[in-house]
Amino acid sequence: MASSFVPPPSRKGRGATANVESRFSEFRRESDETRYESDAAQECEVKFVTQVALENARTIISRNQSADIPFDRSINPYRGCEHGCTYCFARPTHAYLGLSPGLDFETRLYAKHNAAERLDAELRKRGYRPALLALGANTDPYQPIEREYRITRSVLEVLERFGHPVGITTKSALVTRDIDILSRMAKRGLARVFISVGTLDADIARKMEPRANTPARRIEAIRKLTDAGVPTGVIVAPIVPALTDFDIERVLKTASEAGATYAGYVMLRLPREVHDVFVTWLETHYPLRARHVMSLIEQVRDGKHNSAEFGTRMRGTGLHAELIRQRFHLAARKLGLNQARPPLRIDQFNVPEPETPTTESERNPESQRRPRQQSATSATSATSAQDHGGLAGHANPQMPLF
The rounded distance, in Å, linking the Cα atoms of 90 and 80 is 8
Question: What's the pLDDT score for residue 1?
Answer: 34
Q: Is the dihedral of CA 77, 83, 88, 92 positive or negative?
A: positive
∠ CA 201-82-383, rounded to 5°: 125
Is the separation of the CB atoms in 74 and 135 below 8 Å? yes
What tens digit of pLDDT does each residue of 25-69 get? 666 555 565 655 555 555 555 567 888 999 999 999 988 877 777
∠ CA 247-248-253, rounded to 5°: 100
Question: What's the pLDDT score for residue 399?
Answer: 42
Name the phi and psi angles at 134, rounded to 5: -95, 135
Question: What's the pLDDT score for residue 110?
Answer: 94
Q: What is the pTM of this model?
A: 0.81
The mean predicted confidence, pLDDT, of the chain is 82
The rounded distance, in Å, linking the Cα atoms of 134 and 151 is 15
Nearest to 324 by CA among 392, 269, 267, 390: 267
The rounded distance, in Å, linking the Cα atoms of 62 and 387 is 7
Is the separation of the CB atoms in 210 and 255 below 8 Å? no
Helices of type H across 57-111:
103-107
pLDDT higher than 50, residue 398: no
Is the separation of the CB atoms in 274 and 331 below 8 Å? no
The rounded distance, in Å, linking the Cα atoms of 319 and 317 is 7
Q: Among 2-6, 87-91, 198-202, which stretch is predicted with the lowest mean pLDDT?
A: 2-6
Is the separation of the CB atoms in 389 and 63 below 8 Å? no
Name the phi and psi angles at 111, rounded to 5: -110, 120
Question: What's the pLDDT score for residue 63?
Answer: 86
Share of the chain above pLDDT 70, in %: 77
Is the separation of the CB atoms in 401 and 393 below 8 Å? yes
Contacts of 197 (CB under 8 A, 6+ apart): 171, 215, 218, 219, 234, 235, 236, 251, 255
Rg (CA), the chain: 21
Is the separation of the CB atoms in 260 and 235 below 8 Å? no
Is the separation of the CB atoms in 219 and 258 below 8 Å? yes
Is the separation of the CB atoms in 256 and 335 below 8 Å? yes
Three-class secondary structure of residue 376 per DSSP = coil
Buried-state track 163-174, b at ≥16 Cβ within 10 A, e below 16? bbbbbbbbbbbb
Which pLDDT band, with edges at 50, 70 and 90, does 145 fall under? very high
Q: Among 9-18, 270-279, 284-293, which stretch is predicted with the lowest mean pLDDT?
A: 9-18
The DSSP element (H or E) to which 292 belongs, if any, is helix 290-300
Is the separation of the CB atoms in 401 and 194 below 8 Å? yes
What tens digit of pLDDT does each residue of 318-349 get? 899 999 999 999 999 999 999 988 889 999 99
pLDDT higher than 60, residue 248: yes
Beta bridge partners of 53: 110
Which pLDDT band, with edges at 50, 70 and 90, does 12 fall under? low
Is the separation of the CB atoms in 144 and 184 below 8 Å? no
Question: What's the pLDDT score for residue 46?
Answer: 57
What tens digit of pLDDT does each residue of 103-141 get? 888 889 999 999 999 999 999 999 999 999 999 888 999
Q: Which has the higher per-residue pLDDT, 96 or 220?
A: 220
Per-residue 3-state assignment (H helix, E strand, C coil) for 261-284: CEEEEEECCCCCHHHHHHHHHHHH
